[in-house]
Structure 1
């Protein structure tokens, strides 16, 4: 084999960067092999909100993470994450990233919730002691816009700067990896594809797979996730490569049916592209109805970005033999359109217009003088039922009490024309399933034995089960297991 390093890292997002920086700090030589070209390096980290989950109490955080996992993650794996989480703020500072406390966990009902602290990265030169943040209510993620700090582009830039500053880390872009190379059952390197086809890279200590999930692989989505279609706004490079490579050397898989979910917008652009967007219901009023025009859940969960609203969209009607909430329809009025953009766009792919007019003109958002007409134009099968649903909702606003349990301060009527209706689908940022790993980030075979020389980090088999623990949990997990993978590979 050629191009020998101590550590080979496949994928350059938060997990890959954390693994590389940790390994370099331990005097190891590192190469990161990134599938995308440098001028189009849009990792899920870069396309994320940039928040990072930490904690202030390892015992409490371990209990909370264990409850969120729904039994899908062994307690010792959650414990390993929790122990890294209490140090994540200091770890970020050690690589030049200052941060500020911006939110907490999602689920106040669960034991250990109070230990979760979510941090937002700060621009270079910003003193965190001088930053004032008005924290959202427990279990919510709502800020006054524009967001004061914290976004994926900023976090990406700071990580890239830290990696570039290390003489021990080499980054090779536009270098997809097609195969893991083994010698006597030990993973000793990788085989590249694309422009580097035929090139092999040897690892003295280990290979760390940090190359994302399968959110852009429709066959895997259809066969593994809980419904179909489901759309993602994460990296276009995440097509399940690492999962297949790990399987080829005997890896077991876990929680392949799990993802970080919410309602998303998905549209066909006039140029032929299909684009998926995170959407922002706030500020109210808002309501979401199913294909038949009926409200079905507490939309406030979606409005404050809780990932559990996604479960409400997955209902299957055994009589109709259909998913009546795929798509569902978001209904609102001119006040929401005039307040701000409905989406932050898709980084590197599409810039959403500030006044929403371009998207209305393309037909992504139906506009009409009545609720019924807007619902009909958007595709609701019973637009009259949608109009009645909004009448009922407006009555609930009048009395300050909603049958689905919406908070009173979210009950703002939808009564100022023109009215708007937009289809929404189950979707989100990333999948969570992939190669099973242990508390040291070692990838395991179906009998629970580590595959020598192979490690995993980030959303490729991330340690996230039934409930997404907090805003930024995926990035916090990526930092934790990226570091654990490097430490274990180097026998620290």
Structure 2
């Protein structure tokens, strides 16, 4: 530890924000509005910037009642997040849509849905908003995350003039002789002073293989969020004594993961709809109501965590999605405005033919042939399972998995196709433990002076994903809270 006078800082600001996504933008604009000199460090290059906000569906969770929203968020957290943190989120979520429109009125955020668990008390107090004048959930019309980020970041730069240091990958936090965080050192040795606080908004560890294997409950597991989120914030916070929380949690669903020519891999959110789909385990057996996955909900992920102690295997990782020629012709298997496709990392073909040619989508004249090509251990078992499903569709029989009748469409037009699905999603949620003021806590539950965090780095979620737009809502809300706390203001003062 050294005194600030001995540090030889290259830059100095009141507030230093590490990471320029939704939480970083919220923290920076809140600090700037309060009159604080603010600086953002971003590890990626400006022309290759892929924040998870930009790769998202652009949806936003907001609240209409603090008490109801607090209760609902607390129920979804499953005891993993203190109630006062849920309450702090709910209070900021009350004003979130107005706050966003104040930055960028052209967003035209519209209410397109509600909470993911409507059976929970307080669910009716949450709404989901989407930009670009959307009329229904998943009406992405090219105005999802890319549109949201482009308009927010453009307005942010135009209105604030807050500088961003691009290609500035934070490596470690700097402390003075009292243990207070007074700055950041980058990987190339630059030191940046933070006179009032450092706010970590640099994402989770979704692209850090070792951390994923150490902490998450599924392996292998893949993510389609920002490739730059490699656990830097977790490591830096640990080095200064931060406690960690819910490191085994993630925002999950079943996703695709495919090999690229350069040896890398591509993770993609896949879209099962329109109906005409069956998902089996590696033995060709169905195991859950697939419509939850088809509706892009998040609970289906938990079905993939099954472990068989008799064999030492995880029979649902991967699992296998079967569909027929009708679905192949209905449109691309992914959403054009979300994930890698949205930021130009890969362009999925409109009719899925390129992906069939690549071998990502296995094909066959029969279900068994497609299953064998995809690697199902019992292809004939998969064919029998699909035949039973088809019979239930035609005869109007109840589905043994409880699937709604309106989603039951037979797979009866060959050729047939199969895609491997893995546990995965948009982001991890574990990271440094924080309190309702977004202060990072040490292992004795005391705030580390000068250190704050927001967004998916130690996100304030637990067992269940509350609703579409939860990630962005949490980032925007706690980014604001972190800036207010770093400046020593009362919550609501900025």
1:233 touches 1:428 (CA, 8 Å); kept in 2?
A: yes
Q: What does residue range 385-404 of structure 1 map to in structure 2 within 5 Å?
A: 385-398=381-394, 399-404=396-401
Does residue 413 (structure 1) correspond to residue 410 (structure 2)? The answer is yes
- Report the counterpart of residue 375 of structure 1 in structure 2: 371
2:115 touches 2:127 (CA, 8 Å); kept in 1?
A: yes
Distance in 1 separating the partners of 2:484 and 2:402:
47
2:199 to 208, 230, 237: 208
Structure 1: segments with no counterpart, 5+ residues: 123-130, 135-140
Distance in 1 separating the partners of 2:108 and 2:36:
25
- Report the counterpart of residue 463 of structure 1 in structure 2: 460
Distance in 1 separating the partners of 2:134 and 2:374:
42
Does residue 162 (structure 1) correspond to residue 158 (structure 2)? The answer is no
- Report the counterpart of residue 69 of structure 2 in structure 1: 61
Stretch deviating more after TM superposition (272-281 or 342-351)? 342-351
Distance in 2 separating the partners of 1:448 and 1:166:
38
1:290 touches 1:328 (CA, 8 Å); kept in 2?
A: yes
Secondary structure of residue in 1 paired with 2:54: coil
TM-score (norm 1): 0.94
Distance in 2 separating the partners of 1:25 and 1:172:
20
Structure 2: segments with no counterpart, 5+ residues: 1-8, 490-494
1:14 touches 1:475 (CA, 8 Å); kept in 2?
A: yes
1:313 touches 1:426 (CA, 8 Å); kept in 2?
A: yes
Stretch deviating more after TM superposition (104-113 or 165-174)? 165-174
- Report the counterpart of residue 331 of structure 2 in structure 1: 340
2:34 to 18, 26, 36: 26
Secondary structure of residue in 1 paired with 2:168: coil
- Report the counterpart of residue 5 of structure 2 in structure 1: none
2:14 touches 2:37 (CA, 8 Å); kept in 1?
A: yes
Distance in 2 separating the partners of 1:382 and 1:268:
24
- Kindly state the Cα deviation for residue 295 of structure 1 after the two structures are TM-superposed: 0.3
- Report the counterpart of residue 127 of structure 1 in structure 2: none
- Report the counterpart of residue 4 of structure 2 in structure 1: none
Does residue 331 (structure 1) correspond to residue 327 (structure 2)? The answer is no
Secondary structure of residue in 1 paired with 2:185: strand
- Kindly state the Cα deviation for residue 282 of structure 1 after the two structures are TM-superposed: 0.5
Distance in 1 separating the partners of 2:34 and 2:266:
41
Distance in 2 separating the partners of 1:225 and 1:273:
21
- Report the counterpart of residue 453 of structure 1 in structure 2: 450
Distance in 2 separating the partners of 1:305 and 1:39:
30
Does residue 440 (structure 1) correspond to residue 430 (structure 2)? The answer is no
Distance in 2 separating the partners of 1:375 and 1:11:
43
- Report the counterpart of residue 99 of structure 2 in structure 1: 91
Distance in 1 separating the partners of 2:373 and 2:263:
21
2:484 to 483, 487, 492: 487
Distance in 1 separating the partners of 2:262 and 2:160:
43
**RMSD between aligned residues:** 1.2
- Kindly state the Cα deviation for residue 262 of structure 1 after the two structures are TM-superposed: 0.3
TM-score (norm 2): 0.94
Deviations for 1:89-133, whole angstroms, at most 9, x for unmatched residues?
0110111143111111100111111111111123xxxxxxxx572
Distance in 2 separating the partners of 1:220 and 1:167:
36
- Report the counterpart of residue 114 of structure 1 in structure 2: 124
Secondary structure of residue in 1 paired with 2:159: coil
Secondary structure of residue in 2 paired with 1:169: coil
Secondary structure of residue in 2 paired with 1:180: strand
- Report the counterpart of residue 137 of structure 1 in structure 2: none
Distance in 2 separating the partners of 1:149 and 1:419:
30
1:327 touches 1:424 (CA, 8 Å); kept in 2?
A: yes
- Kindly state the Cα deviation for residue 270 of structure 1 after the two structures are TM-superposed: 2.7
- Kindly state the Cα deviation for residue 444 of structure 1 after the two structures are TM-superposed: 0.4
Secondary structure of residue in 1 paired with 2:71: helix
Secondary structure of residue in 2 paired with 1:188: strand
- Report the counterpart of residue 81 of structure 1 in structure 2: 89
Distance in 2 separating the partners of 1:355 and 1:267:
17
Distance 1:475 1:167, change over 3 A: closer
2:254 touches 2:424 (CA, 8 Å); kept in 1?
A: yes
- Report the counterpart of residue 176 of structure 1 in structure 2: 169
- Kindly state the Cα deviation for residue 167 of structure 1 after the two structures are TM-superposed: 3.9
- Kindly state the Cα deviation for residue 52 of structure 1 after the two structures are TM-superposed: 1.0
- Kindly state the Cα deviation for residue 369 of structure 1 after the two structures are TM-superposed: 1.0
Deviations for 1:283-315, whole angstroms, at most 9, x for unmatched residues?
110010000000000111101111110000110
- Report the counterpart of residue 192 of structure 1 in structure 2: 186
2:109 touches 2:134 (CA, 8 Å); kept in 1?
A: no
The count of corresponding residues between Structure 1 and Structure 2 is 472
Distance 1:115 1:167, change over 3 A: closer
- Report the counterpart of residue 311 of structure 2 in structure 1: 320
Distance in 2 separating the partners of 1:189 and 1:214:
22
2:325 touches 2:413 (CA, 8 Å); kept in 1?
A: yes
Distance in 2 separating the partners of 1:95 and 1:403:
50
Stretch deviating more after TM superposition (112-121 or 64-73)? 112-121
2:115 touches 2:467 (CA, 8 Å); kept in 1?
A: yes
2:112 touches 2:134 (CA, 8 Å); kept in 1?
A: no
Deviations for 1:151-175, whole angstroms, at most 9, x for unmatched residues?
1111110121122113451111111
1:24 touches 1:168 (CA, 8 Å); kept in 2?
A: no
Distance in 2 separating the partners of 1:208 and 1:84:
18
2:470 to 469, 473, 484: 473
- Kindly state the Cα deviation for residue 148 of structure 1 after the two structures are TM-superposed: 3.8
